[in-house]
Amino acid sequence: MDSVLVTGGAGYVGSHACKALAVAGWTPVVYDNLDTGHRDLARYGPFEPGDIGDRERLEAAIRRHRPLAVMHFAARSLIGSAVADPLATYRTNVAGTLTVLEAMRRLGVGMLVYSSSCAVYGHPATVPITEDAPLQPVNPYGWSKLAGERMIADAGAAYGPTWTALRYFNAAGADPEGEIGEDHRPESHLIPRALMAAASLIDCLEVYGGDYATPDGTCVRDYVHVSDLARWHVAALERLRNGGGSVAVNLGSGRGWSVREVVGAVEAVTGRTVPLVTLPRRPGDPPVLVADPARAAALLGGPARLPGLDRMIDTAWRWLQRRRV
């Protein structure tokens, strides 16, 4: 089977993409330093320990497995950490992506699927957000992802690799078959933290800001099931293999939910109360981020197949019970 080098493949979205690749007949080769990933999630193909900043180790892995493409997930992804320590974020997300691109060029890997982010849009002027919206990040994480996209586009124009930049909105849920799921330590994402509060694994859920210009004062986000994200990654790869051109694509459901709506859904799914504490706004948090998913539907095999918030929460709840409770 043709192989794909998956940087960050032992992480949350990366491990789900590896499962989808294996189901589709590819061999995913996980390249991960396990800083935030988990070895037991790298179960669908060979595992290569390594950091994307380590050029020699990265190139050795490419020489061993001769992948047709790279799926590049490895990154620092926490906005709060990026604001507190921007240089560490740029070192991994920008310098690390440069190392990946240089290795691809030297060793003749001709396709790249890049894990980007809706953070490249910053505070959008209109919602839902199309791919043609202005790219105006408001935090170092968003700038690092935009820098990655720029480098990838320039490398493609100069050297020929084709690419797809997938701009995620909020990944949620877990593998419906229960094999893999979200396991950040510490956990910072809303849905798993709400579930942890419902399970009494943490004292309460922190809500950052209750005074936004939204219907209930809390931030509104577009949540998309991680299995849909994984399927779209495989579709992006196969589109490139079939001659499709380079493109940036939003990955979202096209529907927004506020923090309080998510909490209500968690309480409905679990039958438990989520204790809350409202804190000041965090720097760099836009009030509303909702995707226009039309391009993904047109290019990557249709809209989300698991679009309901309850389904995302239910799969995440079952994973949490299996993993931590």
Indicate which residue of 12, 31, 141, 168 is catalytic: 141
Torsion of CA 153, 155, 160, 163, to 10 degrees: -40
**DSSP code of 94?**
I
Long-range Cβ contacts of 311-314 (<8 Å, 24+ apart): 311/173, 311/225, 312/172, 312/173, 312/191, 312/223, 312/225, 313/172, 313/173, 313/191, 313/195, 313/262, 313/265, 313/266, 313/269, 313/270, 314/269
Cα 64 from Cα 43, distance rounded (Å): 18
Report CA-CA distances (Å) from 257 to 106, 116, 134, 216, 267: 44, 21, 23, 11, 15
Is the distance from CB of 72 to CB of 13 less than 8 angstroms? no
Q: Which amino acid is at 58?
A: L
**What are the residues facing 168 on neighbouring strands?**
117, 251
What one-letter code names the amino acid at 16?
Answer: H
d(CA 292, CA 215): 20
Closest CA to 302 of 222, 231, 225, 224: 231
CA 84 to chain centre: 21
Active site residue 90: no
CB under 8 Å to 23, separation ≥6 — which residues?
none
Residue 172: which of 220, 224, 207 has the closest Cα? 224
Q: What is the DSSP string of 256-276?
A: EEEHHHHHHHHHHHHSS---E
User: Would you please indicate which residues are annotated as catalytic (active-site) residues?
Assistant: 141
